[in-house]
Amino acid sequence: MRVLLLGGTTEASQLAQALHSARIETVFSYAGRTNAPIAQPVDVRIGGFGGADGLATYLKNERISHVVDATHPFANTMGQNAYRACSTHGTPLLRLARPAWRAQADDKWIHVPDITGARDALPADPCRVFLAIGRMHVDLFAARPEHHYLLRLVDAPQTQITLPDHHVTVARGPFNVAEDIALMQEHRITHVIAKNAGGSGAVAKIDAARALGLQVVMIDRPLRPDIAETANIETVLAWLNHDAERGV
């Protein structure tokens, strides 16, 4: 048995630890987006595979018997590629994903389907936005230059941010509510834009927005391939052990 673990999330790192403890041979795969990825107790590879075909070739060459897709809920291309590559060889594929956040009674959420929708949902009058969506799509908001943007990024930006009025804070989660309330108060935030990542590591900003009565523009998750899915690491281990007992 040799597992490919598609990572980049807290859950993937937790699973890597569990697989290491269970002595299951594992390759952990990072896309290579951050400067200092978290060290893992298993073998690590970094960088894209070259699409679904590249991944299919990798699975064959590296004698991968099982794939766990523990990428972020918004890493949709990787999820689709994993599905297609595993279908090519009949490689068993399981998705490890945290449940989405659900609005509570006091929440003021607007649901939008994607980042462009979030941009377009901002009011016409200038407001102060906590744009908590990572670096990749930030420049789309240059089309709404009337707003002030607070950006929280894992690494200091390597390329110029094209938003005319913004502030960058560099920090890596998990975050806590009291600090996120203080951050939002300090920057006089009126709106929070967030991806519905789910889980506990990034929920502080949602809890903070609720506590402060702020509007949240919530970007709903993209549709993922229809494959077996769990939020539970024990279930992943049981899935692998079941096949190990069958000699797969």
Site for ligand NAP, rule CB under 6 A: 6-9, 29-31, 33, 48-51, 54-55, 71-72, 74-78, 81, 134, 195
Cβ distance to ligand NAP smaller for residue 33 or 128? 33
Cβ distance to ligand NAP smaller for residue 28 or 109? 28
| Least Cβ distance, residue 213 to ligand NAP (angstroms) | 26
User: With 0-12 CB in 10 A as exposed, 13-18 as middle and 19+ as buried, what is 25?
Assistant: middle
| Least Cβ distance, residue 170 to ligand NAP (angstroms) | 15
| Least Cβ distance, residue 52 to ligand NAP (angstroms) | 7
Cβ distance to ligand NAP smaller for residue 74 or 175? 74
| Least Cβ distance, residue 234 to ligand NAP (angstroms) | 21
Cβ distance to ligand NAP smaller for residue 45 or 167? 45
Q: What angle do CA 38, 135, 141 make, to 5 degrees?
A: 165
Whole-number Å distance between alpha carbons of 213 and 80:
37
Distance between the two ends of the chain, CA-based, in angstroms? 7
Residue that is written with structure tokens 């794939």 in the block: 67
Neighbouring-strand partners of residue 6: 29, 69
Give the residue nearest to ligand NAP (CB).
48
Stated as kind and residue range, the H or E segment containing 119 is helix 115-121
- Record the tokens describing residue 204, joined without a space: 């502080």
Stated as kind and residue range, the H or E segment containing 129 is strand 128-132
Cβ distance to ligand NAP smaller for residue 88 or 212? 88
Amino acid at 8: G
Whole-number Å distance between alpha carbons of 179 and 145:
27
| Least Cβ distance, residue 217 to ligand NAP (angstroms) | 15
